[in-house]
């Protein structure tokens, strides 16, 4: 799905809603209908959300415009994140609502800018973005953390992702999850979450551990060891409770623990 196509759908949704709900008309015109393309509208939205009296929105909008102009793949990633949210979150009904109102999606796009700034040795600005994301969205992602596309941050409140963490494509993460370190160790010290993993609400994954492709982490679990691909872990500390029912738990969003025990 291209950015051009998704933008045409978003505009159609916004026009329909502005006719249905007149109170929303001016807001939708300001944020969607007055823009010709997805990236410009997204840049304006995020700059207004993250601005402060010390850092005006126009400065941030110029920064986002620069980022999207130099990195068109970042726009494509935003499209994948939008579609992932619509596909996996039953509360998400329209693309325009995800873009305008779901802070998990917004925080992820802000992180992509912070990560680019970090990699281009603009670290103070990257830290400023991280700080504003934390204050505005309640989401704290270190600018150096590597995050793929097709990501669902469901609710996202109190999500923490550390400096050397890696989150690969098509991962779903619920609220109050921590991908953190184990203390004062330095270097590569944060989790590596492989493709299609589902991480339940409140799970804490600590240390340089690997969560294998297609694995599932139960809500409230504390994970201190590697998790094999396509297995489910749960508990404090987390233990293997069975194999996953499907190859890509992140797409199914089924929070139940498997009854199929591991065969050693």
Across the chain, the runs of DSSP E, i.e. the strands, are 139-141, 146-147, 152-153, 159-161, 166-167, 172-173, 178-180, 192-193, 198-199, 204-206, 210-211, 216-217, 222-223, 231-234, 239-243
Element (H, E) at 20: helix 3-20
The pLDDT of residue 264: 42
Q: Which of 107, 80, 62, 115 is nearest to 6 (CA)?
A: 80
Range of the domain at 221: 145-264
Residues 155 and 202 in one domain: yes
Q: Which of 211, 243, 219 is nearest to 230 (CA)?
A: 243
The pLDDT of residue 54: 86
Residues 150 and 95 in one domain: no
Task: Report how far residue 122's alpha carbon sits from residue 117's, in angstroms, rounded to the nearest whole number.
Answer: 5
Residues 130 and 186 in one domain: no
Q: For every one of its 264 residues, what pLDDT tens digit does the chain have, with 9 covering 90 and above?
A: 899 999 999 999 999 999 999 999 999 999 999 999 999 999 999 999 999 988 899 999 999 999 999 999 999 999 999 999 999 999 999 999 999 999 999 999 999 999 999 999 999 999 999 999 999 999 999 999 999 999 999 999 999 999 999 999 999 999 999 999 988 888 999 999 999 999 999 999 999 999 999 999 999 999 999 999 999 999 999 999 999 999 999 999 998 886 554 444
Joined tokens for residue 119 = 């990699």
Task: Report the chain's terminal Cα–Cα distance, integer Å.
Answer: 42
Q: Which of 14, 140, 12, 118 is nearest to 67 (CA)?
A: 118
We report the CATH number of the domain holding residue 153 as: 2.160.10.10
Across 88-183, the runs of DSSP E, i.e. the strands, are 139-141, 146-147, 152-153, 159-161, 166-167, 172-173, 178-180
The pLDDT of residue 82: 97
Radius of gyration of the chain (CA): 19
Joined tokens for residue 32 = 């969607």
Residues 151 and 105 in one domain: no
Q: Are strands 239-243 and 231-234 parallel, antiparallel or unpaired?
A: antiparallel
The pLDDT of residue 263: 45
Q: What is the pLDDT of residues 93-110, one digit of tens each?
A: 999 999 999 999 999 999
Residues 47 and 79 in one domain: yes
Residues 130 and 151 in one domain: no
Domain count, the chain: 2
Query: 47 with 57: CB under 8 angstroms?
Result: yes
Residues 29 and 67 in one domain: yes
The phi, psi pair for 89, rounded to 5°, reads: -100, 110
């Amino acid at each position: 799905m291209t950015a051009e196509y998704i933008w045409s759908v978003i505009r159609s949704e916004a026009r329909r809603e502005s006719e249905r709900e007149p109170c929303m008309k001016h807001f939708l015109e300001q944020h969607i209908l007055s823009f010709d393309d997805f990236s410009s509208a997204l840049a304006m939205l995020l700059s207004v959300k993250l601005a402060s009296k010390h850092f005006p929105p126009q400065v941030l909008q110029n920064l986002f415009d620069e980022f999207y102009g130099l990195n068109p793949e970042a726009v494509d990633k935003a499209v994948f994140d939008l579609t992932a949210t619509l596909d996996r979150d039953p509360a998400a009904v329209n693309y325009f609502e995800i873009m305008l109102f779901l802070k998990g999606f917004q925080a992820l796009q802000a992180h992509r800018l912070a990560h680019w700034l970090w990699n281009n040795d603009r670290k103070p600005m990257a830290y400023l973005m991280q700080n504003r994301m934390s204050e505005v969205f309640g989401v704290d992602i270190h600018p150096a953390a590597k995050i793929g596309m097709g990501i669902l941050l469901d609710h996202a409140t109190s999500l923490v992702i550390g400096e050397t963490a890696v989150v690969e494509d098509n991962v779903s993460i619920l609220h109050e999850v921590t991908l953190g370190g184990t203390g004062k160790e330095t270097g590569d010290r944060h989790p590596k979450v492989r493709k299609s993993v589902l991480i339940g609400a409140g799970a804490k994954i600590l240390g340089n551990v690997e969560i294998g492709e297609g694995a599932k982490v139960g809500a409230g679990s504390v994970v201190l060891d590697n998790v094999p691909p396509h297995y489910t872990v749960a508990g404090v500390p987390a233990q293997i409770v069975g194999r996953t029912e499907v190859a890509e738990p992140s797409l199914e969003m089924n929070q139940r623990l498997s009854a199929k025990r591991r065969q050693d």
